[in-house]
A and B are shown apart, each in its own frame.
Chain A
Amino acid sequence: DIVMTQSPLSLPVTPGEPASISCRSNQSLLHRDGSTHLDWYLQKPGKSPQLLIYLVSNRASGVPDRFSGSGSATDFTLKISRVEAEDVGIYYCMQALQTGFGQGTRLEIK
Chain B
Amino acid sequence: VQLQESGPGLVKPSETLSLTCTASGASMSKYYWTWIRQSPGKGLDWIGYISPTGNTVYNATLKSRVTISTDTSNNQASLKLTSVTAADTALYYCATGGYDPFWTGWNVWGRGTTVTV
Contacts and interface: CB of A to CB of B under 8 A. Distances in A.
A50 B57 contact: no
B26 interface: no
Interface size class of B (residues with CB under 8 A): 20 to 34
Interface residues of A, number: 28
Q: Classify the secondary structure of B's interface with A.
A: strand
A31 interface: yes
A54 B95 CA distance: 15
Interface stretch (A20-28, A73-81, A99-107): A99-107
B93 A55 contact: no
B107 interface: yes
Interface stretch (B14-22, B67-75, B77-85, B108-116): B108-116
Given A50-B109, A51-B105, A60-B105, A92 B93 contact: no
Interface of B: 34, 36, 43-46, 49, 57, 59-60, 93, 95, 97, 101-107, 109-112
A17 interface: no
